[in-house]
Structure 1
Amino acid sequence: MRRTLVFAMSLGLALSAGAAFAQQFDKIAAVVNDEVISVYDLNSRLSFVTAGTKARKQPETLRRLAPQILRQLIDETLQLQEAKRLGVRVTDADLEQAFVGIERQNKLKKGMLDSYLAAQGIDKMALIAKIEPEIAWVKVVGRRIRPQVQVSAEDVDEAMTRIEAAAGAPELFLYEIFLRVDTPENEKEVRQIASRIVQQLKAGAGFSALARNFSQSASARRGGDLGWVRQGELESELAEPAAKLKTGQFFGPIRTLSGYHILLLRDRRIAKGLEAPNATLELQQLFFPIALGAQTDKTDAEMVRANSFAARAENCDGMEKLGAELGTEMSGSLGTVELADLPAPLKLAVETLEPGRPSKPVRTETGIIVLMVCSRTDGGAGGTERERLEKMLTAQRVDAAARRYMRDLRRAAFIDIRL
């Protein structure tokens, strides 16, 4: 398995600096078919996923997280092996496109990713080691599964009928972290990891960051974003506790047939039936950087500052001047964006916001954001509800088939865990 050039981290079982550092390359964490995952690989990924959190300096927490991270590395090795078997390659252009997407997700200006990673104490090679298997797997799924998935006009009609019938019913905007239980033998281990993730959430860790790093559902790529969900669409074990959540609260871990779930409620609403076409927005932004895990009093003070700036914004020209006064690189015009492309918290902040009015401050994983809509254009006929539903149904079926594909790869593989 390719080595990632990031610094080692204590794992309890890991070794200290000097000669011991080199021994991490020799100590085997797992063997997957004919490839080795070393303790160094494991420690590198632990360092990456705990960047910016208190867990990075807590050996006991790292020890408990290690089994879950090792399972992820095993899955990624299987994905890369399957990609190699099929002749699928991840190119430099693929990686560059992924970097641009990460900059966009984190509201970074173009070319700022390297400095952002450095500020978080993350080696770029560790990021590449994380996203390369994801890109390879997307290509594999696109080649092997996507051509076989068909959604008929009748399927779309049925979905539209269900949506119309649900008009007036409550909907929840949910995020999830899902941990799969493969065998009875790893039940206790997975439950402990899920409980440890809940502890990290209670300590202030970002839900989306934990979802991207630990969740094993398709929503992990979106930071756990499930979008709007009707209670009847949830598994029975999840529906009742989800209905009792207040906005911003999470619950779990809850055991279902497939594994453990942790859910976060971002918002709730009454379903309106079929949605209007997507809107295009011209946005201005004020950005107040503050690291994850920052002390509560510091976060509160920055939130007060954000509210103070927002109160002075009377229009988009004024918002732009305030951005220049604030002096942070990510403040200023965001240009024209599709409402549907915004991260969920920002989408919620602006989807009903009148042009020329500042949004409420929104806490993100990198800081606090205040947005202003300068103009809004409703989507045209090209973004019809039928097209949106067809894409959604296709994605759901592709995700389900990809999970079965991954399960078959695990069953067929020789996997020897040495730790």
Structure 2
Amino acid sequence: MYNLNQQSQQRLHPRPRYRAGYLVYGARIAAEHQLMKHIIAWITVLALTCASFQPAIAAVPQQVGIVAVVNDEIISSLDLEERMRLVMSTTGLQNTPEVRQRLAAQILRNLVDETLQTQEAERYNISISESQIDRAVRTVEAQQGKPQGSLPSFFEQNDLSMESFRNQLEAQLAWNEFISRELRRNVTIGSDEIARRQERAMNNSAVEEVQLSSIIMPVDKPENEQKVATLAKELREQIGQGASFEALATQLSASGGALTTNKVWVSTEQLEPRIRATVDKLSEGNLSQPVRTVPGYQLIRLDGRRMGSRISDDAEVALKQILLSLDETAQEKEVSVLLDIAKAVSRHPGSCTEPGIAGVQDFEGLNIDVEYVRTRFVNMSPQVRPLVENLRVTEISEPFATPEGIQLLMLCERIDVAPQMPAENLVRQELFREKLDLESAKYLRNLRREAFIDIRI
């Protein structure tokens, strides 16, 4: 087993060595000051509102059996059924026997992980009090605008297990506390690492960057390849029909969920080749078909795309802003006509020293506004900044749509500032997060390898 210190070499309950049938790929874990934010985001997805709930199919009374043994603890068929019902209710998946059967292995995997995490936290004398769980539940209620104490009754009305929900919260809280208390001490960041990361950031400032979310479904055995592929395809179809991507990522993904409170921009050059090829074909907001990668199958959503900039955020520009206003009730033909006018204006925009365009200064009745603005790149929207960055002084942009109408921008002046090297503390936090991620993944993987895990379904 992967040991943190001498204390960790002595287990309270010796475990027979057994290679589990499931491999785990660790969750993205933030630094200590972000752990509670991660929990809040994680449980918010599970906050069950009347609008997002679909009634759970009533459970058929059946004999309770054992579906898995994890060291000296059992996971019962009732545990699996209660979690299944919670997943079906929070994700919007079609509650059919076929879907439930395909989800069973993935949900059981999560229950096994939670059991291992809770056992390890207990071994380090980490316990989560009822008051801590109560506080987490109240946070859910507050964020959803629900009266305090309303969630338990809501679970009861929808025939869902509040105990199962609380157990899920307890396991996540305990594991995050364990990571914060024990694993973080293994992470060291050298000054040379920070310098290399800063240099790379400066050199790669003009490459494409993306924000991604994903649901990861590992293939732990060759014989499970087709089952996981079928599950990935099924989830892709149901998300397209309205199932919640965020809830599925939280409940099912082996990465611990794609839901994050602080999205990170990643250079496409750093992506695995198969993932990059997939992302290159996606439009912003779109979800990929299942992608076979090293850990298993992934569903990848493109949340954002931008070009990294060599221009400093503090660089200042003076712009001549031309707006051709458009009424909210305008028809498609009117929009097309206005766009043609905007293209004509772009050919004769006038100069930066005159208030008009094409020699015209009185726009009464034409719904054209000309305004001079001075701003910094840091204040520009992600849509506008690339347009301005590519302009030379006195050049004008192509027309683009805004909520107010069709707009053009002429660059009148730019005061450049040398690109700033990323701050040392920010780089340190980024490296810390990455290394803690690896420590968490490695530790959980070794827990599985040393544990006695007997899957019985």
**Is TM > 0.5 for Structure 1 vs Structure 2?**
yes
| Counterparts of residues 183-262 of structure 1 (less than 5 Å) | 183-220=221-258, 222=260, 227-262=264-299
How many pairs align? 302
Which residue of the partner structure matches residue 86 of structure 1?
A: 124
Separation in 1, partners of 2:198, 2:247: 33
Question: Are 1:117 and 1:123, in contact at CA under 8 Å, matched by a contact in 2?
Answer: no
Separation in 2, partners of 1:203, 1:256: 25
Which residue of the partner structure matches residue 170 of structure 1?
A: 208
**Greater share of helix residues, 1 or 2?**
1
Separation in 1, partners of 2:156, 2:131: 25
Superposed displacement of residue 67, structure 1: 0.7
Q: Unpaired segments of 5 or more residues in structure 1?
A: 1-7, 278-346, 352-358, 361-383
Letter of the 1:265 counterpart: L
Which residue of the partner structure matches residue 176 of structure 2?
A: 138
Superposed displacement of residue 258, structure 1: 1.9
The 1:169–1:180 alpha-carbon spacing in structure 2 relative to 1, beyond 3 Å, is same
What are the superposed Cα offsets for residues 217-263 of structure 1, whole Å, 9 maximum, x if unpaired? 1554528x753221111111110110111111111311112222111
The 1:133–1:275 alpha-carbon spacing in structure 2 relative to 1, beyond 3 Å, is farther
After TM superposition, the score normalised by the length of structure 1 is: 0.64
| Counterparts of residues 5-84 of structure 1 (less than 5 Å) | 16-17=60-61, 20=62, 23-24=63-64, 27-55=65-93, 57-84=95-122
Question: Are 1:52 and 1:120, in contact at CA under 8 Å, matched by a contact in 2?
Answer: no
The 1:82–1:52 alpha-carbon spacing in structure 2 relative to 1, beyond 3 Å, is closer
> Which structure is richer in relative contact order (CA contacts within 8 A, separation 6 or more)?
2
Q: Which moved more, 1:185-194 or 1:142-151?
A: 185-194
Letter of the 2:245 counterpart: F
The 1:393–1:195 alpha-carbon spacing in structure 2 relative to 1, beyond 3 Å, is same
The 1:418–1:406 alpha-carbon spacing in structure 2 relative to 1, beyond 3 Å, is same
For the residue of structure 2 that corresponds to 1:174, the secondary structure is: strand
Superposed displacement of residue 390, structure 1: 1.3
Which residue of the partner structure matches residue 399 of structure 1?
A: 437
The 1:150–1:218 alpha-carbon spacing in structure 2 relative to 1, beyond 3 Å, is farther
Separation in 2, partners of 1:389, 1:275: 17
Separation in 1, partners of 2:157, 2:306: 36
Superposed displacement of residue 77, structure 1: 0.8
Separation in 1, partners of 2:238, 2:69: 30
After TM superposition, the score normalised by the length of structure 2 is: 0.59
Letter of the 2:301 counterpart: L
Superposed displacement of residue 411, structure 1: 0.9
For the residue of structure 2 that corresponds to 1:36, the secondary structure is: strand
Question: Are 1:174 and 1:266, in contact at CA under 8 Å, matched by a contact in 2?
Answer: yes
Separation in 1, partners of 2:310, 2:162: 44
What are the superposed Cα offsets for residues 373-419 of structure 1, whole Å, 9 maximum, x if unpaired? xxxxxxxxxxx833222112111111111111111111111111111
Superposed displacement of residue 94, structure 1: 3.0
For the residue of structure 1 that corresponds to 2:169, the secondary structure is: helix
Superposed displacement of residue 100, structure 1: 5.4
Question: Are 1:181 and 1:260, in contact at CA under 8 Å, matched by a contact in 2?
Answer: yes
The 1:209–1:167 alpha-carbon spacing in structure 2 relative to 1, beyond 3 Å, is same
Question: Are 2:210 and 2:306, in contact at CA under 8 Å, matched by a contact in 1?
Answer: yes
Separation in 1, partners of 2:312, 2:430: 14
Question: Are 1:68 and 1:190, in contact at CA under 8 Å, matched by a contact in 2?
Answer: no
The 1:115–1:127 alpha-carbon spacing in structure 2 relative to 1, beyond 3 Å, is closer
Question: Are 1:42 and 1:69, in contact at CA under 8 Å, matched by a contact in 2?
Answer: yes
Superposed displacement of residue 110, structure 1: 7.6
Separation in 1, partners of 2:218, 2:87: 18
Separation in 1, partners of 2:431, 2:147: 33
For the residue of structure 2 that corresponds to 1:167, the secondary structure is: coil
Q: Unpaired segments of 5 or more residues in structure 2?
A: 1-54, 315-380, 386-401, 404-421
Question: Are 1:68 and 1:193, in contact at CA under 8 Å, matched by a contact in 2?
Answer: no
Letter of the 1:261 counterpart: Q
The 1:403–1:52 alpha-carbon spacing in structure 2 relative to 1, beyond 3 Å, is closer
Q: Does residue 114 in structure 1 map to residue 158 in structure 2?
A: no
Superposed displacement of residue 276, structure 1: 6.4
Question: Are 2:215 and 2:298, in contact at CA under 8 Å, matched by a contact in 1?
Answer: yes
Which residue of the partner structure matches residue 125 of structure 1?
A: 163
Letter of the 1:167 counterpart: S
Question: Are 2:91 and 2:247, in contact at CA under 8 Å, matched by a contact in 1?
Answer: no
Letter of the 2:151 counterpart: D
Separation in 2, partners of 1:229, 1:395: 14
Separation in 1, partners of 2:138, 2:214: 25
Separation in 2, partners of 1:395, 1:103: 29
Separation in 2, partners of 1:54, 1:191: 20
Question: Are 2:88 and 2:95, in contact at CA under 8 Å, matched by a contact in 1?
Answer: no
Superposed displacement of residue 117, structure 1: 5.3
Letter of the 1:269 counterpart: R
Which residue of the partner structure matches residue 419 of structure 2?
A: none
Superposed displacement of residue 99, structure 1: 3.4
For the residue of structure 1 that corresponds to 2:290, the secondary structure is: strand
Which residue of the partner structure matches residue 354 of structure 1?
A: none
RMSD across aligned C-alpha pairs, in angstroms? 3.4
What are the superposed Cα offsets for residues 90-111 of structure 1, whole Å, 9 maximum, x if unpaired? 123432453355457x554683
For the residue of structure 1 that corresponds to 2:128, the secondary structure is: coil
